[in-house]
Amino acid sequence: MPDIDSILRSAPVIPVLVIDEVSEAVPIADALVAGGLRVLEVTLRTPAALDVLHAMKQVPGAIVGAGTVLNADQYRQACDAGAEFVVSPGLTSGLAAAASAGPVPLLPGVLTTSDIMRALDHGYTRLKYFPASIGGIPALKAISAVFGNIRFCPTGGITLETAPEWLALPSVACVGGSWIVPAGQAIDPEQIRVRALAAAALDAN
């Protein structure tokens, strides 16, 4: 099972996926991997999410995790479905305990300095910065000056055009992007592959 650092180093962008139909899972994953994005975050925002995650794991080269995990039960469900990592929008003591005892790494979400200090108390130095659109790059620059040992994956409101500004920050390991597979749009594997190629070509620290 990959550790969180190897996951964050695998590509400059982690696609954040909201998928309603299990039948779309493999074509999407195939296109993303073909475009150079191997790490895929399937958010638990749809009833099909766990089945989608399980299906995507069959795609060679894909490293598939679960996102929008809100509690210990969802962490365990994601692990049972085969998730290789878990991403949460925040961190609670219950979720931290489940992840500490669990088989796969957790990337917890933070936004404030208090959030980061709480995460540090639980041993986390690799964090999701969410939602990145609140405060933006100036806020993360200021935060990074205080927490020099933290590496972040900013997510929320980032686009292909703005991603390079985030990736230029020394504290940023990669970014999360929902623009590569926009939710609610018809699935076009070739367009997804093209967007993945553009994202994979971005420079990361």
**71-111: pLDDT as tens digits:** 999 999 999 999 999 999 999 999 999 999 999 999 999 99
pLDDT greater than 80 at residue 11: yes
pLDDT of residue 160: 97
pLDDT greater than 80 at residue 205: no
* Residue 170 to residues 56, 103, 205, Cα–Cα distance (Å): 32, 29, 6
Question: Residue 30: pLDDT band by 50, 70, 90 thresholds?
Answer: very high
Question: Residue 204: pLDDT band by 50, 70, 90 thresholds?
Answer: low
HSE at residue 26, side-chain half, CA atoms within 13 A, is 5
The active-site residue out of 24, 57, 84, 128 is 128
Which among 131, 67, 132, 133 is positioned nearest to 104, based on CA atoms? 67
Domain ranges of the chain: 4-200
DSSP string, 104-130: S-EE-EE-SHHHHHHHHHTT--EEEE-
CATH of domain 4-200: 3.20.20.70
The active-site residue out of 24, 41, 57, 84 is 41
Question: Burial of 154 by CB count in 10 Å (0-12 exposed, 13-18 middle, 19+ buried)?
Answer: buried
Share of the chain above pLDDT 70, in %: 99
Q: How many CB atoms lie within 10 A of CB 165?
A: 13
pLDDT of residue 15: 98
Share of the chain above pLDDT 90, in %: 96
Coil, strand or helix at 79: helix
pLDDT of residue 184: 87
Q: Specify whether 21 is catalytic.
A: no
Q: Specify whether 41 is catalytic.
A: yes
Q: What predicted TM-score, i.e. pTM, was given to this entire model? A: 0.96
